[in-house]
Homo-oligomer: A and B are copies of this chain.
Amino acid sequence: MKKRGLLIVISGPSGAGKGTICKALLQKNKDLKLSVSCTTRAPREGEKEGVNYYFVSKEKFEDMIRKNEFLEYATVYGNYYGTPKSYVEEELNKGNDVILEIDIQGALMVKEKYPDGVFIFILPPSMEELKNRIIKRGSETEDSLKTRFNSAFEEIKYMSNYDYAVVNDYVEEAVKKIECIIIAEKCRCSRVMDTVCFNQEG
């Protein structure tokens, strides 16, 4: 039996740096598979179809909902975001580890379906820094900035639903920690027991 891969969920408040961390993590670890989400929001500058997101219309998204094609989906600031089920399942069954970069609302839904997943919460170094990052992103109006910041603060309270928390003060350090978490999770007794076979004859 082929050993199933790990589902690694990278999540946390808006502005914590999930995206930067995932990008660096994937660049260093070519065998990790990134699950690309669907969204109905407009692409930000530099975002590419099929790399950052699949950008789809509201009609298409709602059709996919009806066909039960999402692992999870949610509405955030009036836009749909969702994780297509098929890709994740295929890669896990092939034995590949899959990275899900996802907001907290979505992560909690995934956790219900994949309690065996590894849930990592990315923390900004401080709330001050979080504010700066949201401002720097520059795509926000004064009002949406306030909404995002308050929401990020509320979201940090969900940390206790996760397995791990990684503070994103230095991206490289954060990535190293996530790599260690993946290696450690593969050493969990429950996982190792499926792969070792000992008999008294040696």
Contact = CB atoms under 8 A, between A and B. Distances in A.
Interface string A183-202: 11101111011001011111
A121 interface: yes
A167 interface: yes
A139 interface: no
Contacts of A192: 123, 159, 164-165, 167
A140 interface: no
A185 B184 contact: yes
Contacts of A130: 202
B131 A189 contact: no
Interface string A152-169: 010010011011111100
A184 B91 CA distance: 24
Interface size, A (range)? 35 or more
A177 interface: yes
A201 B198 CA distance: 57
A187 B166 contact: yes
> 4 tightest CB-CB pairs across the interface, nearest first?
A128-B202, A184-B184, A127-B202, A180-B180
Interface of A: 120-121, 123, 126-131, 150, 153, 156, 159-160, 162-167, 176-177, 179-181, 183-185, 187-190, 192-193, 196, 198-202
Given A167-B196, A180-B187, 18 more contacts: A123-B196, A126-B202, A130-B202, A131-B202, A159-B189, A160-B189, A163-B188, A164-B189, A165-B188, A165-B189, A165-B192, A165-B196, A167-B192, A176-B183, A177-B183, A177-B187, A181-B183, A184-B185
